Structure 1
Amino acid sequence: MAVSDLSTAPVPTLPAHTDPDTDRVLDSGLLHELSYAFGGPFHFLLPHRFDANLTSFRTALSDAGVEGRVYYAKKANKAAVWMERCAARQTGVDVASTPELREALGHGVRGEHIVVTGPAKSDELLRLAVLQGCLIAVDALDELDLLSTLALTGAVRPARVLLRRLPPAQPHSRFGLTAAEIETALDRCVRAGDAVRMEGFSFHLSGYATQPRADLAGELIDLCLQARVLGLQADRISIGGGFAVDYSSAEHWHSFLADQRPEHYHARKTFHSGDFYPYHSPVAGADALRSILAAVPEGGRANLAARLRQTGTLLMMEPGRALLNGAGASVFSVQGVKDRDGYGIITVDGTSLSLSEQWFNSEYLPDPQLVTPSGRVHGGEVHPACVGGASCLESDMVTWRKVPFPARPRVGDLLVYPNTAGYQMDSNESPFHDLPLPPKVVLDRPGDRPRWRLDRRPAR
């Protein structure tokens, strides 16, 4: 796989932001030992980065003088270590299934620190949530009726609820209550008496823009004020998730989008640039929360932070990817390399099902790093290669793009995909071909001599 005809034109590249914590792991020699031990792909996790991201969100709330609570969106990564961190830091968890709720409770997260979201929740999930004192985001009127019945027939505490608002700007969403349904729900909450404790409202918006979140949050504050007149508690709102992660620089991202062409992908695969995750975001993570708090909701005069303070309204949020920024990477071993029409085709020991962007008919674009037993490979040459999975499917491409590696990958080298903890590791995983699911390795002390352990949640 010599320098190819692609060298006549720049090969698009998208390097991730420099991350010293991950780089130390890549240069430590540990990854090759783990690859040999597991005999297949694996993920490594950096829990201290979760703690740092959580602190940044809490600091943004404190700096704005706003009372708020952060709930980790559990669907973003199934590892048990995140539940351990939430329990240790008294952090909330957002769950959407009975197994997720049991997992959170089993790792020490208290019921009152859990919010239950998702559509058409099962009777089992609602019953367990009421018994454990969880806060439940109600998505439909019949769900509210069921909760009232559960609380009246044997529960030792009221059903704690938020009413989920259908975003007016996204009227075709299948989630949430319309304005008319909100009015009906408020009436039913009043008539339910002590069986239901209506604590406020919630929403979730698609996309990552901050102003629409501030606008809808302002509407929810108004709804809280109306509900209080009816004698309901209504003292909090949830703005959901959708806090972007900034994977790469603006220069690299915009250059990539401008330069990419079908010939830069295996089999001239084409992607619509609008289907790519926005791998550069000028406002991301806790800075996005700061932007939301500083924005003036539509039709208002004061910014959102001031309105929350003036009305005594608590702000809830449910970040997933943003709490996992920099908190892990995915490791594949090179099983074979072949030359094809001026570029290489690498086959690794796992499948594309372990990088879940494929789920969205898209591609995980940050460049994988080539790692030998001596550490990261550096060089001035360009060796373009796509990356295929170990299955017998033509569509099993871990990376369709011809990545410009700095050296020719060899059997036994590792490809490390950076910053994959948020949604990539396990949202779409499958034991296809009877291959085991990649284990997750927790690095409690990354450095010159990393200390590692297997995540306490067994792979399924």
Structure 2
Amino acid sequence: MLTSRKPPASPTAGVQPFALTALRHPTVSALLADHRVLLADLLDGLGSPLHIVLPEIFEENVTALRRAFAESGATADILFAKKANKADCYAKSAAALGAGIDVASTPELVKALAGGVPGHRIGVSGPEKDDTLLSLAVRHGCLIAVDSVSELRRLAATARVARLRADVLLRARATSQPTSRFGLSAADRTAAVGLCAELDDHIRLRGFSFHLNGYSTAERATAANEMIDHCLDARRRGARSAELVDIGGGLPVRYVDPRRWEAFVEQNEPAHYHADKSFKDFYPYGGQPAAQAVRAIMAHPVGGEGSLSAKAARHGVRFVVEPGRALLDQAGFTMFRVQQVDDRRADDGYAIVTVEGSSFSLSEQWFNSDYLPDPLLMSARPAPVETFPACVAGSTCLESDLVTWRKIGFPRPVRRGDHLVYLNTAGYQMDSNESPFHDAALPLKAVLTLGDGGAPPRWRLDGI
């Protein structure tokens, strides 16, 4: 005999979704408000997910960072961290503005050169670079960051064969991160400076760089101050060309209103996620804007010598900065097509929306975290206005393939054929973790530019 049984109450039932509305650049707002038909046509024609890239906003960000350094009394060369996004259009924008690019592989270097960036504006970083990368970098006059004495010897041998002189930064381990796997220890740094003098015919020591985890402006300023002192010490030892301090990237980006972010952090708990998922760390989505962070770094007091920028100017030291995410702030977004809505979890208080695509195209999962700004719902048909709690899943066979683990309070029911828009995804989200899993094609990137005088936006595929 069959009997009906009431499902057990779920511990997650009744949890109200927390709104983390994503900030929008005016250009993005205009595209979403006035050109939804074009965006929908692009998604339908080019496939889901689709990345929209906006190089004009990238160019605005370069200009804003240059202004922040100049207003702080500092001289700085901006190198776009190529690893943050593979799109060719950003390299071309950097070339047009006279900015540089930071690369860490031979393909990245080739793409930077192909985008029009000359070798002397390209920085080559990454630990223990292979011989092909070192050779290409030497022949194009790139600035090469060296992580070890053995790599320095290999670089000198490469330059000797090419009958050239390589421009070098020694990457030193910052005092605040003594266990980092990157950079020279104090003893190795001393040995490397001496070796640069011995290999002077093929090595020109230009300065020092460092690697930091995190977004502390005070810690970055303190490490930069250490590098200035290393430059001064190297000059005393004969390296008169030691004049550069590379402060790396790590400039924060503000994705959501900081007050909403603080409220989220206070209220966050596993019940807000599918399967009571617990995350240890999130990107600081409510952080300070990058230009503001630059001003804080440059204004940081360094002993009795005033600010960091004042000390650098006094000693003839120039800065190099390698922003990735900061230059891509608002310079792109990602669209998914809704493939199915599973309302069988209604007793749990939320639905699971499955999109055409996977979490590989929103790479925060790579960091064992969740991309927290709310996605926007673009409905194909009118729907009643009511809160619709849902998580967003990819269409693969992986239990862990959640594009958004957090329960989102959509403003109306989500239906098959609707579109979800994830804002501000150009920085590290689009292609850091992409994969042709299930033999799926890698997502395309469409370059959009707004027309002048009310003309419709123009678009093209990136790389074409």
Instruction: Give TM-score, length-normalised by structure 1.
Output: 0.94
Q: Report the equivalent of 2:409.
A: 404
Equivalent runs, 1:412-423 vs 2, <5 Å: 412-423=417-428
Q: Are the structure 2 counterparts of residues 38 and 222 from structure 1 closer, same or farther at C-alpha, using a change threshold of 3 Å? A: same
Matched, 1:254 2:258: no
Matched, 1:212 2:219: yes
Deviation at 1:360, TM superposition (A): 1.1
Matched, 1:326 2:334: no
Contact 2:147 2:170 in 1 (8 A): yes
Q: Which has the higher contact order (CA 8 A, sep 6+)?
A: 1
Deviation at 1:301, TM superposition (A): 3.1
**Residue deviations 1:41-90 (CA, integer Å, cap 9, x gap):** 10001111111110111101211222210000000000000110011111
Matched, 1:153 2:161: yes
Q: Report the equivalent of 2:393.
A: 388
Q: Report the equivalent of 1:90.
A: 98
Return the letter of the residue paired with 2:122. Answer: I
Instruction: After superposing the two structures, state which structure 1 stretch, 109-118 or 29-38, moved more.
Output: 29-38
Contact 1:7 1:382 in 2 (8 A): no
Residue of structure 1 aligned with 2:125, choices 108, 117, 124: 117
Q: Report the equivalent of 2:26.
A: 20
**Residue deviations 1:271-302 (CA, integer Å, cap 9, x gap):** 22xx1111111x331111111000012x3431
Matched, 1:244 2:252: yes
**Residue deviations 1:82-116 (CA, integer Å, cap 9, x gap):** 11001111111000000100110111110000000
Return the letter of the residue paired with 1:347. Answer: T
Equivalent runs, 1:19-418 vs 2, <5 Å: 19-27=25-33, 28=35, 29-155=37-163, 157-232=164-239, 233-272=241-280, 275-281=281-287, 283-297=288-302, 299-339=303-343, 340=345, 341=347, 342-373=349-380, 381-418=386-423
**Residue deviations 1:188-214 (CA, integer Å, cap 9, x gap):** 111112211100001121100111111
Deviation at 1:263, TM superposition (A): 2.4
Q: Report the equivalent of 1:453.
A: 460
Query: 1: distance between equivalents of 2:376 and 2:367?
Result: 23
Deviation at 1:165, TM superposition (A): 0.6
Contact 2:147 2:171 in 1 (8 A): yes
Return the letter of the residue paired with 1:358. Answer: Q
Instruction: Give TM-score, length-normalised by structure 2.
Output: 0.93
Contact 1:351 1:398 in 2 (8 A): yes
Query: 2: distance between equivalents of 1:194 and 1:5?
Result: 70
Instruction: After superposing the two structures, state which structure 1 stretch, 121-130 or 229-238, moved more.
Output: 229-238
Return the letter of the residue paired with 2:411. Answer: P
Q: Are the structure 2 counterparts of residues 205 and 300 from structure 1 closer, same or farther at C-alpha, using a change threshold of 3 Å? A: farther
Contact 1:355 1:426 in 2 (8 A): yes
Q: Which runs of 5+ in 2 are unaligned?
A: 1-9
CA RMSD of aligned residues (A): 1.8
**Residue deviations 1:220-262 (CA, integer Å, cap 9, x gap):** 1111111112221101110001000011112211222222332
Query: 1: distance between equivalents of 2:178 and 2:60?
Result: 36
Q: Are the structure 2 counterparts of residues 166 and 240 from structure 1 closer, same or farther at C-alpha, using a change threshold of 3 Å? A: same
Contact 1:26 1:371 in 2 (8 A): no
Q: Are the structure 2 counterparts of residues 379 and 280 from structure 1 closer, same or farther at C-alpha, using a change threshold of 3 Å? A: farther
Query: 2: distance between equivalents of 1:45 and 1:437?
Result: 15
Return the letter of the residue paired with 1:221. Answer: I
List, as ranges, runs of 4+ consecutive aligned residues in structure 1 with deviation greater than 3 Å. 4-10, 377-380
**Residue deviations 1:391-413 (CA, integer Å, cap 9, x gap):** 11111111111100000011111
Return the letter of the residue paired with 1:14. Answer: L
Query: 1: distance between equivalents of 2:60 and 2:383?
Result: 30
Q: Report the equivalent of 2:3.
A: none
Q: What is the percentage of aligned positions where both structures have the same residue?
A: 50
Contact 1:165 1:201 in 2 (8 A): yes
Query: 2: distance between equivalents of 1:76 and 1:351?
Result: 19
Contact 1:378 1:406 in 2 (8 A): no
Contact 1:24 1:448 in 2 (8 A): no
Return the letter of the residue paired with 1:196. Answer: I
Query: 2: distance between equivalents of 1:262 and 1:208?
Result: 25
Return the letter of the residue paired with 1:402. Answer: K
Return the letter of the residue paired with 1:21. Answer: T
> Aligned with 2:357: secondary structure?
coil
Return the letter of the residue paired with 1:12. Answer: F
Q: Which runs of 5+ in 1 are unaligned?
A: none
Query: 2: distance between equivalents of 1:10 and 1:413?
Result: 23
Q: How many residues align?
A: 447
